[in-house]
Amino acid sequence: MRKLTSVLLSSVLLFSMASCASAGTEQTETSALTTAPVPAAETSLPAETTVSQEELVNERVEQILSGMTLEQKVQQMMFVSFRVPELTEEMTACLEEYSFGGFIIFGQNVVDHEQTMNFISAVQTANQNGGGIPMFIGADQEGGGVTRLSYGTIGVGNMALAATGDPAQAHEMAYIHGSELALLGVNTNFAPVLDINNNPANPVIGARSFSDDPDTVAAFGLAYMSGITDSGVISTLKHFPGHGNTDVDSHTGFPCINSTYEELQQCELIPFQAAIDAGAGMIMTAHIQYPQIETGTYTSIGTGEEVHIPATMSHTILTDILRGDMGYEGVVVTDALEMDAIESNFAHEDTICMTINAGADMLMLPFAYDDEGLQKIRDWTAMAVSLVEEGRVDASRVDESVRRILRLKINSGLIDITDFTVTPEAVSAAVETVGGQANLQAAQGIAYNAVTLLQNNNNAFPLQVQEGDSVLVIFADSCASRSGTGDLVRQTLTEQGVLTEGTDFQVMTDTLGNADACLAAAQEASHVILVYCTYAAACLDPATMDGFSSATFDRIIAARHEAGQNVILVSCGLPYDAARFPDADAILLTYASSPMSAIVTDDGPQPSYAPNLPCALYACFGVGTPGGRLPVNIPALDESYQYTDEVLFQSAN
């Protein structure tokens, strides 16, 4: 395969590193990977000639593009992933052979700081050895429930950030995420989520959204994007044109939103337009049908029925609206093309043709867990080349996409990094910072600012624990994997002297078989905290396996009230369960949590956790003060535990 190295070196004559965007410069300074930008040659332009940076970048783009084969252009449009902690010989050979444009980091790629850095170095070095262009290394490090670094600073999640009421907190949290990624060698973050969670039954966005209010999402989304950019990392807006108003997860189904274009302009598109106007460099598409906007249909390979073409494959949405009406000039990357919405409905050839012709610049292909998946990536790439050669994919569209990809890589300073050696000093810096105490403490401070005391009747909050009192914390089955948080809180409060060594502090988890035991323990305890996690609408219905614990909690609340005792309810997932337990004396909302089945005490990298739930529980004992305000409306439930149009708790927006 023809190599690009000579083209990259000669093109330096057209571009000075000194003129790179400041974000790229910062990234080079903070990256864990040793960088060696190619020196820029002096140019001899007439004194009266003024050449803008944009013109220099465009000239360099054309110089590189002119030296690329069709295969290299198509490969540059592929965002791939090998979900292993160490590259196999076959994977290394693939990266040397193919000039892929991007590589995605998942949890399977991550063990500890040094391993992650060496893995990313191996990926970039194999690409360089093959004469490729430095790759986008991307990761979904949104914070809260969606993170890839098990040892990094998980943070609080977007809805919690909005609950602080201060966009500067979003900037700070995003800067922490971006800085940690940069130290490890990740240069692209698939965040922020700009979806508006205007459907409480949404099973996939939820607390990943800042709010159900478009202006709030815009304000916090821009602050988050700025924080990522200021860290030297590329941010990615998602999921265009909006995944908030769905009740189906595109990972497992094919969502449909019946909004008109005018309705999207008045809601979902507001934060995207604000971010585009602020210079967004990358946008991710949504695998969602919008039949009022894209009327084209396709016969599903799975059901044989007609389905509407999703936004990912819609020329109307990606080209006419996003580029034409909204003026976006950056890179468009698809959401993962192995998701059920695409894989179960569209033939692979048609997926490639329709996606590229619609206006997508990069195809997300996170297929490879093993050699079979690796071959699938090879097959998709070869298929894309053939489709261009056959004329089914417009060759001019390929050139347009590669121009955008190259332009972003130049402006972010990636294209001139040629040495990806990991040094001991870089590893030490990463170990100290990524998931380090300074970042964890900052995240905890933000968490306290986000925890929202929604209701406090009878002065139930905070608890007044007296000598000889007993405390019971019961976790619903839906958050059984969080029960170790109760043990962490007990240990921490005892170490701090808030609780005495003799305080009876019991942690239980409600299961299908111990409802009576939970009730009996709650009737005996001096103080009771109930922890509930709603991750889907079914969690609110006691007749479901997701929500059976809610019936136990109903019994406990009623029994304690009958005895003249209080109950605190802590919501550690979506805040909508506040409407399920309005009789609880005090209600605290955390908006996110993460599994902690037991306190981790082993040596080595410690799995991080979202601080939201621990901070809420600490606050129940007077340690820290909840500073949050409700960022979404919480609807009342009907007798069947379904959401209604009545607002029970009004958003503070």
Tell me: pLDDT of 207 over 90: yes
pLDDT in tens, 476-527: 999 999 999 999 999 999 999 999 888 999 999 999 999 999 999 999 999 9
Which pLDDT score is estimated for 249? 67
Mean pLDDT of 399-410: 98
Which pLDDT score is estimated for 606? 61
CB-CB contact of 216 with 194 (8 Å): no
Tell me: pLDDT of 343 over 90: yes
Tell me: pLDDT of 173 over 60: yes
CB-CB contact of 130 with 95 (8 Å): yes
Please state at what angle helix 348-358 crosses helix 371-389, rounded to 10 degrees: 60
Domains and CATH numbers, the chain: 5-43+52-73+81-427 (3.20.20.300), 451-649 (3.40.50.1700)
The label of the residue with tokens 């001991």 reads 424
Provide the pLDDT confidence category of residue 601 given band limits of 50, 70 and 90. low
pLDDT in tens, 582-600: 999 999 999 989 888 777 6
The phi, psi pair for 307, rounded to 5°, reads -120, 155
Provide the pLDDT confidence category of residue 253 given band limits of 50, 70 and 90. confident
The label of the residue with tokens 């305890």 reads 525
**DSSP one-letter string for 289-338:** B-TTT---EEE-TTTSSEEEPBGGG-HIIIIIIIIIIT---SEEEPSPTT
**16 class by beta-carbon count within 10 Å (0-12 exposed, 13-18 middle, 19+ buried):** middle
Mean pLDDT of 385-411: 97
Which pLDDT score is estimated for 21? 36
Q: What is the mean pLDDT of the chain?
A: 90
Closest CA to 401 of 84, 65, 177: 65
Which pLDDT score is estimated for 27? 37
Among the residue ranges 304-318, 447-461, 544-558, 587-601, the one predicted with the least confidence is 587-601
Q: Give percent of the chain above pLDDT 90.
A: 83
Contacts with 502 (C-beta within 8 Å, 6 or more apart), sequence order = 467
Mean pLDDT of 348-370: 94
Which pLDDT score is estimated for 33? 35
pLDDT in tens, 70-90: 999 999 999 999 999 999 999
Provide the pLDDT confidence category of residue 603 given band limits of 50, 70 and 90. low
Which pLDDT score is estimated for 595? 87
Which pLDDT score is estimated for 28? 36
Mean pLDDT of 197-206: 85
Mean pLDDT of 293-305: 96
Among the residue ranges 220-224, 390-394, 601-605, the one predicted with the least confidence is 601-605
Mean pLDDT of 374-384: 94
Mean pLDDT of 190-204: 90
Which pLDDT score is estimated for 141? 95
Tell me: pLDDT of 235 over 90: yes
pLDDT in tens, 17-47: 333 333 333 333 333 333 333 333 333 344 4
* Rounded CA separation 322/75 (Å): 24
pLDDT in tens, 114-146: 999 999 999 999 999 999 999 999 999 999 989
Which pLDDT score is estimated for 16? 33
Mean pLDDT of 565-588: 97
Provide the pLDDT confidence category of residue 420 given band limits of 50, 70 and 90. very high
Which pLDDT score is estimated for 23? 37
Closest CA to 240 of 296, 180, 283: 283
